[in-house]
A and B are shown apart, each in its own frame.
Chain A
Amino acid sequence: MTRGVLMYAHNNSEIDYFKIACANALMVRKNLGVPVTLITDEGTISWGKKALGEQFVNYCFEKIIEVNRDYMFQNPRNFSDTSFSSKSLLFYNCNHWEAFELSPYDETLFIDCDYLIMSSALNNCWGSNNDVMIDSRIYSPASDKAPYTKYIDAFGIKQYWATVIYFKKTDFAEFLFSTVRHVQENYRYYKDLYLMPNGMFRNDNAFSIAIHTLNGYMNTEDSIVGELPIPGLLMSWDVDDIHSVQGINDIILYGEKLDSKGNYILSRLKNTDIHIMNKWAINRVADRLIELYQE
């Protein structure tokens, strides 16, 4: 039974997802003790090797899978670096449904490269009785009341977060990823059907719709997917920032206060995984993370 972590990294004109993935791969190795496979594209990998060195890149990943980038796919998204700076950049996320086929592992933890692994909590996934586990619960570093919706739309489809997905190579997991592909290819239809507020393609929504469909078009407590064996996903938003990395699995964050733009609350996290939505913030501390976690 092979086990490992799978990440995607497709750089855009400003955000170096590849470097973030390298730092996080080292964090995975330190905390989960499993190998990491990266799915990327030619432009990103050649930039990464040039910037960080081929030897280091090979040290970070067990396997690098290069896929063709579909340059026809345009998915503009507003990226913020705190509330004071925002830019519209391309967000390449249209190929996550391929994760099932591309993963070299029998059991895969498919994580966003900006979901920083600072604990061994996700090791509870291995050997699970569930074919797929994905979470619907999130919370925020600045408050116990996360500014999120439990449903993706007014009709009440349950919101799942595709930030971390555990799956096994089973028929059911294949059904799910095939359905995600179908939703993505017909996203405009589903966007209208479920009254999703903007046109940007989001994997969170595609997975939520796919799960709802495979649940027999029902919101049910007995979902065909399990929740991850964690209390929920800690989400730091793009209006938040990283104050500093204090040491291994030890980070201080600025969390913007709810309804109080530009005012922050400090929060120290030790041995807790966290999704950092402010990509510039991670890029600013990526060298420090690499230095700390490189053995």
Chain B
Amino acid sequence: MEERLEKALNFANYRQTLNNQFQKLKIKSEGLLIYAKNGGSFTITRDLISFLDYLERSGMVEATILDDNNIPVAIENVPNFLKEVTRRYFSVTKDYHEEYQAIRKSRNVKSIIDFKDE
């Protein structure tokens, strides 16, 4: 095989592994952003945080909101719930950022996988 083509294919393989590992990391983080509360499950998004912030600013302490399965869930203390989900959001995104950077800086398949020979 021509050397340039071989290099190109190696690069394609590297990019494929890189993208795949990014995608696994994204899904892991999405999983960690699912938060269970009062029998409901809520995916923590910027929308949810903004909505809860709006409720808090409007002076609402108790509220009923729809969860991921569109089931109404009563939240007895909106400010506390907002604090809980915000804390979780930043904890997950911080870890996501660190792991993302580690993968991004990897220059070959072995380092993307962080594989150490036994």
Residues of A at under 8 Å CB distance from B? 119, 121, 123-130, 133, 139, 141-144, 221-222, 226-227, 229-232, 234, 244, 252, 255, 257, 265-272
Contact = CB atoms under 8 A, between A and B. Distances in A.
A91 B41 CA distance: 35
A244 B69 CA distance: 36
A268 B21 contact: yes
Contacts of A229: 34, 36, 41, 68
Given A129-B71, A266-B109, 16 more contacts: A124-B35, A125-B36, A126-B36, A129-B73, A227-B68, A227-B69, A229-B34, A230-B34, A231-B27, A234-B27, A244-B118, A257-B16, A265-B16, A267-B24, A268-B113, A268-B115
A143 B90 CA distance: 27
Contacts of A221: 70
- How many residues of B sit at the interface, in one of the four size bands? 20 to 34
Contacts of A144: 19-20, 23
Given A234-B27, A265-B16, A272-B28, A124 B114 contact: no
A232 B118 CA distance: 33
Contact of A124 (B23, B28, B34): B34
Contacts of A129: 38-40, 67, 71, 73
B10 to A, nearest CB: 13
A128 B31 contact: no
20 contacts: A121-B31, A121-B34, A128-B39, A129-B38, A129-B73, A133-B69, A142-B20, A144-B19, A226-B69, A227-B69, A229-B34, A229-B68, A230-B31, A231-B34, A257-B16, A267-B21, A267-B113, A269-B24, A270-B28, A272-B28
Contacts of B93: none
Nearest to B42: A229
B38 to A, nearest CB: 8
A244 B28 CA distance: 20
A6 to B, nearest CB: 20
A234 B38 CA distance: 27
Contacts of A270: 28
Most chain A Cβ neighbours within 10 Å, of B28, B30, B41, B118: B41
A252 B41 contact: no
A222 B70 CA distance: 8
B17 A266 contact: yes
Most chain A Cβ neighbours within 10 Å, of B38, B70, B113: B113
A272 B27 contact: yes
A270 B98 CA distance: 14
A167 to B, nearest CB: 14
A121 B92 CA distance: 13
Contacts of B109: 266
The 5 closest A-B pairs by CB, nearest first: A229-B41, A129-B39, A226-B69, A124-B36, A231-B30
Contacts of A244: 118
Nearest to A268: B113
A267 B113 CA distance: 7
A232 B40 CA distance: 17
B69 A130 contact: yes
A111 to B, nearest CB: 16
Given A265-B17, A266-B17, A272 B36 contact: no
Nearest to B67: A129
B28 A271 contact: yes
Contacts of B31: 119, 121, 230-231, 272
B20 A267 contact: yes
B4 to A, nearest CB: 21
Contact of A226 (B21, B71, B73, B113): B71
A29 to B, nearest CB: 20
A84 B28 CA distance: 31
